[in-house]
Structure 1
């Protein structure tokens, strides 16, 4: 194990409930409506994929880019409501003190990622931040994780990903990386069965458990 890559929403910050609220509110304003289960299927995918799907399904008037921008602004306005996932900070500090390089690879847009980095001072501890806008293919395609490995100059097989979404786990495994599925109840009932290990809280993890995944 030479690097740890975190997803952001639902893994670092408990933001999925806010995303759900804002996205469904905006969608209904524009004339569409989906069930909670339908909405949860988009967890871990890119903004572009989700709003493209909504535009086609409901024949929405604004462009995909306009809808992404509307949601982006509302998220930034409400960022004060977001908190770190329970015990994440302690876990991150343990990795940092052990000298492990860390990165963030989020399907979210760059503006939202930067706002979270700033709010929680993540750039003090993590070396690299990649948003969904910086790759051409969203999860479950492995491009975002392979991009992180390339930029950090670390073999994909030496990387560990922590993900809370079905699409994210699929992307990590497609990249040839080890993956811990983080079962966050606020991310919906995500199928994390393809992960190498599934946990519900960071207090269930320590350095020895992570290293054993690579033995």
Structure 2
């Protein structure tokens, strides 16, 4: 393990670092419409925020009785998402500030996401954060997606850290629950309004109940580094 004293920080990507959920919604809507499901709306999409793309498409395929195999649906959604994300995926200002500050202080950093590795790489390349976040884990690379802890444990392994030396930054209850199962502290910044009361966030050590509007990079940095931990 790395002997550096700096806490490792593992970021979720979609809805946490970048506002990509509208792209995922539109990509999913297009795929479902192509297979005869024309009433998929934003509210239904929010059920899957924080859930891996494969698990999402498996559930939607079963619920809507889509005949096409899940691998085909995943490929179609990934193509559509990459087209949308390639145009623009905004980074949350507070998160950019936090990443830059942690990087400057030599904290080991990683991204662990339910997105495909291709999507992770494409979004980070266009965000200006790619060079600061070279360690990346996709749910494609582990046995189980969130709320199982696999992606976070694999990120810790690649960073050379024990789980207890890592902090997760998450926007969704399944991700916060995955952090708990991994034995990691968690900063929670809910993406979906009203989700702050979800029991998945109960174990978060620092919760910004108002989401990105309330997020304070300085406060998060102090908590992660111990100055604000309780």
Is the TM-score greater than 0.5? yes
Q: Distance in 2 between matches of 1:120 and 1:202?
A: 20
Would the alpha carbon gap of residues 76 and 41 (structure 1) be closer, same or farther in structure 2, given more than 3 Å must change? same
Scaled by the length of structure 1, the TM-score of the pair is 0.91
Aligned to 2:58: 52
Q: Distance in 1 between matches of 2:202 and 2:173?
A: 8
Q: Is the 8 A contact 1:101 1:127 kept in 2?
A: no
Aligned residues: 213
Query: Unaligned 5+ residue runs, structure 2?
Result: 1-5
Aligned to 1:195: 204
Q: Which has the higher contact order (CA 8 A, sep 6+)?
A: 1
Aligned to 2:11: 6
Question: Which structure 2 residues correspond to residues 15-34 of structure 1 after superposition, within 5 A?
Answer: 15-32=20-37, 33-34=39-40
Q: Is the 8 A contact 1:86 1:202 kept in 2?
A: no
Would the alpha carbon gap of residues 123 and 37 (structure 1) be closer, same or farther in structure 2, given more than 3 Å must change? closer
Q: Is the 8 A contact 1:76 1:112 kept in 2?
A: yes
Aligned to 1:157: 164
Query: Unaligned 5+ residue runs, structure 1?
Result: none
What is the root-mean-square deviation in Å for CA atoms of aligned residues?
Answer: 1.9
Question: Which structure 2 residues correspond to residues 76-87 of structure 1 after superposition, within 5 A?
Answer: 76-79=82-85, 80-87=87-94
Aligned to 1:61: 67
Q: CA offsets per residue over residues 26-70 of structure 1, 9 Å max, x none?
A: 213312344544321211111111111111222212211111111
